[in-house]
Amino acid sequence: MASGGRVENGVTTQMSEDNGLPNQWVRLNVGGKYFLTTKTTLCRDPQSFLCRLCQDDHTLNSDKDESGAYLIDRDPTFFGPVLNYLRHGKLVINKHLEEEGVLEEAEFYNIDELIRLVKRRIADTESQRLLLERKKHVYRVLQCQEEELTQMVSTMSDGWKFEQIVNIGSTYNYGNDDSSEFLCVVSRECDSTTANGFSEMKEPQDKGKVLQQKGSR
């Protein structure tokens, strides 16, 4: 109910007798934390608990504190994304905030569209997690001569890339015409269900030799 009003620039604004705020504004006490918003925001979903609350739906048996704020016994941590959705219609969740917690609040406040958005976000997050679990890096070590390096680089394909090249030849030739030898470490991200992970890789060249785990030197 209103108790008179105030006049600003020739416009009379009705004031609430409970909290001294204009009638359009609503104060909420969620788990001990105060939120200030408008009835228009809270009524974005006409079927929601919050819309019914600010319309003084007596079936809710809601109470107010000494400041006139509606008392809601819920976790205020997860209420922020709920209120922001009602303000602008977008789902914004801090990366450190559990999506399941926001879903719980959306269901409590009975905001259907927000429930749908959060469930989709949770499903997308789970899909990304499963995809990352299926991915692994497979490494292969090749031995080649110095003159073979260029050809090896040009023939790499299917997502393989060089990780490291190690010169295993002597720094000093001592008149030896042989070229230096190199170990080339290559890697590829592949599905963990792919046998061995590198069955599709083309040999960098015929003289490239795959070193076994125990090494050949």
Q: Indicate the average pLDDT of the chain.
A: 77
For residue range 49-99, list pLDDT tens digits in order: 999 998 877 777 788 999 999 999 999 999 999 999 999 999 999 989 999
Q: Report pLDDT for 90.
A: 94
pLDDT above 60: residue 181? yes
What's the mean pLDDT in 198-205?
A: 44
For residue range 92-119, list pLDDT tens digits in order: 999 899 999 999 999 999 999 999 999 9
Residues 92 and 88: their CA atoms lie apart, in Å, by 10
Q: Which two tokens stand for residue 22?
A: 């204009």
Q: Higher confidence at residue 193 or residue 214?
A: 193
What's the mean pLDDT in 183-210?
A: 56
Q: What is the pTM of this model?
A: 0.56
Residues 64 and 17: their CA atoms lie apart, in Å, by 13
